[in-house]
Amino acid sequence: MNHSLPPLPYAKDALQPFLSEEAVEIHYEKHHRGYVTKLNAALEDQDQYQSMSLEELIRAVPVNGGLFNNAAQIWNHTFFWQCMAPADSRKAGPEGALKQAIEEQHGSTEKLLEGFVSAATAQFGSGWAWLVKTASGEIKIVTTGNAETPVTGDDTPLLVCDVWEHAYYVNYRNDRPGFLKEFTNYINWEFVEANFG
Ligand code: MN3
């Protein structure tokens, strides 16, 4: 199967001032597209993987190998873009069952997001910070290194933020915490609620 780059869910300038058009352009057109190009090239002589969906491929290949890295980075980035929304289509916070679960388990959305920012700041080197739902319904903050993703495990991803330096360097230079704090104001809570189920 030839994998394709999913369209961005909004215009490249829609996340300003959090992310400039240039930052989204580079991240999407160079990094995200680059993983798609590399994966398709690497799959050309790998007949056993060609009929697999992206998720099937991520689960089938060795973690941290070349196929895994490109496939997982495609999946993680596609999920990441959906986790943010422009101001005119963004809710202030979670509602309904998600809100209730967050308050029961973490006290408040603010406290959960503080923990998320701390964990994401502390992730050493390149990686991702996630909110996931465990099989027992627990909302957890987890971080993964490099391309690693909850897709290989049993947790359901709810939210992710890219903490590779390429995600924030254009607008925030080395200020990862500053990037993360702004990220929390641009969360697409409707998407997170839908993932929570
Ligand atoms: Mn990235």
Q: What is the pLDDT of residue 121?
A: 98
Banded model confidence at residue 51, pLDDT cuts 50, 70, 90:
very high
- Quick one: average pLDDT of 66-89? 97
Nearest of 37, 32, 44 to residue 75 by alpha carbon: 32
Ligand 1 centroid, distance to 96 Cα (angstroms): 31
What is the 35 CA–ligand 1 centroid distance (Å)? Answer: 10
Q: Is the pLDDT of residue 4 over 80?
A: yes
Q: What is the pLDDT of residue 1?
A: 67
Per-residue pLDDT tens over the stretch 99-120: 999 999 999 999 999 999 999 9
* Cis previous bond, 17, omega within 30: yes
Those residues whose beta carbon sits under 5 angstroms from the ion ligand 1 are 31, 162, 164, 167
Instruction: Specify which residues 140 forms β-bridges with.
Output: 132
Q: 57 CA to middle of ligand 1, Å?
A: 20
Residue 149 · residue 128 · CB < 8 Å = yes
- In this model, does residue 44 exceed pLDDT 70? yes
At residue 35, the pLDDT reads: 98
Arithmetic mean of pLDDT, 175-182: 98
* Centre of ligand 1 from the C-alpha of residue 166, in Å: 6
Ligand 1 center from residue 12 Cα (angstroms)? 15
Give the distance (Å) from ligand 1 centre to CA of residue 143.
Answer: 14
Residues 15, 86: Cα–Cα separation, whole Å: 5
Distance (angstroms) between ligand 1 centre and the Cα of 31 equals 6
